[in-house]
Structure 1
Amino acid sequence: MSLCFPLINTGGSSPSGSYNHVVGILYGLLAAVLYASVILMNKFIKNLSGFETTLVQLMVSSLVLIPYILMIDPMNFSGVNSHSIIYILILGIFHTGIAYFLYFTAIKELEGQIIAVLSYIDPISAVIIAAVVLGESMIFIQIIGGILILGSTFLSERLETKR
């Protein structure tokens, strides 16, 4: 059995019924490292348009994620039909491709400080949208976490402005 299988748990809790906080923390740290690598990669990619930067980023992301996906669950295309392909194309082109294109085009025009603030707002807005649009539950600790993240970002901006 692979090391990755115990880490995957779609129910949000371990088989014993309690939450597996260590796995969540490890996933969070891994996500932070991968997100930082995207930002650092943007610093080294010069003289490319937003479209070209988007293509490079998506190709690198695919190369990083494909081995993980293949370790977790072998690909099975038996359930793929024309509707699935249309939904995948919509998701890939609009919700990923265009969003990345806008992000990487704007990142070249914005100051690092503004980009940092937007990077903090991004996951919080995702949680809020998931709660409002998808009806996912938001517990008190998530609300407190969002307030702490936004509050510290606001304070950091205010202190930086005063300097």
Structure 2
Amino acid sequence: MSVKIAPFYILLAGVLWGTTGTTQAFAPENAHPIAIGAARLAAGGLFLLCMVLLAGKLDLKNWPIKNTLMASICMALYQPLFFSAVTLTGVAIGTVTAIGSAPILSGFLEWLYLKKRPTAIWWCSTFLSILGCVLLFMNKNSVHMDPIGLLMALGAGLTFAGYTLVSRDLVENYSSLSVVAVVFTLSAIFLSPFLFIFDMSWLGSVRGLTVSLHLGILATGIAYFLFSKGLVHVSSSTAVTLALAEPLTAALLGVFVLDESLNMTSWLGILLLLLGIGVLIGSSKSSERDLEPGVVQKH
């Protein structure tokens, strides 16, 4: 796979993640957000496990247990941290803090762990994208600044950044399908207690089952598989910035599917998001290596 194609895998993953909010809007009223997150991982993990078994690509010989556990724990923690943050401090602040902090934290972890400084192109793109994300959500009603909610949102951003960094190391040496299958199966096991804590009767309805399958198969299984394939040729910091296509997709679906309205500030935010993502994609035309500010050499 060419390095020039890799960013589009990540963009497509972001688009699929962006359908999560719209899909949840159609979930039964008695479906708790954390319960939806647990069901999402359970369906996604099972789907990926079946796919890797059917493809015959599951080879656990010399599998790196430490990195796999770290990636699984990060993904398992992300779900309750993000949904709890949104519940405590509102959709706008919770989403902007979690999604907006992830690229910065990813760049910091990459610098600290891999000793690779992100390029000026990455800083420019990330600044434009995060500013666009902030402007995009400024028209939302909820602006409640709950300290605990903010900490949880930052924790969600950190766990996603950590997952991306560790996963990139895994996909360099193992197939992307095997990596996501193992990681998400373990993550689903870690979150399985929530399936017994919360009311899961909503899964018995057609609408509830449809929502969980969409979130599990498309927004988790296929999305993270594409994300992992892109990580083979894209640094973790760049990947997290490109994944900001998620709020962009969510906002547009809100307008065209849920009949939500956006003011001029939010449309300016969408423009900046597109510009920020375009800077990273466009940089590949001058140099394929420009797109990898912290590329890891195999060792």
Query: TM-score normalised to the size of structure 1?
Result: 0.62
Partners of 2:254 and 2:260 within 8 A in 1 = yes
Higher relative contact order (CA 8 A, sep 6+): 2
The alignment-based identity, stated in percent, is 25
1:4-153 mapped onto 2 (5 Å cutoff):
8-9=87-88, 19-22=143-146, 25-46=150-171, 47-59=173-185, 61-62=187-188, 74-81=197-204, 83=206, 84-108=208-232, 110-112=233-235, 115-153=239-277
1:156 Cα deviation from its structure 2 partner: 6.9
Which runs of 5 or more structure 2 residues have no equivalent in the other structure?
1-82, 93-140, 291-299
Q: Conserved in 2, the CA contact under 8 Å of 1:120 and 1:150?
A: no
Structure 1: where are the runs of 5+ without partners? Answer: none
* Aligned residue pair count: 153
**Counterpart-to-counterpart distance in 1, 2:270 and 2:184:** 28
Q: C-alpha separation between the residues in 1 aligned to 2:265 and 2:229?
A: 35
* Counterpart contact for 2:90–2:143, Cα < 8 Å: no
Conservation of the 8 A alpha-carbon contact between 1:131 and 1:137: yes
1:90-112 deviation line (CA, Å, top 9, x unaligned):
4312332112212212321x333
CA distance in 2, matches of 1:116, 1:8: 23
Q: Deviation at 1:36? A: 0.5
TM-score norm. by structure 2 comes to 0.39
Q: d(CA) in 1 for partners of 2:248 and 2:146? A: 21
- Cα RMSD over matched residues? 4.2
Q: 2 CA distance for matches of 1:150 and 1:129?
A: 16
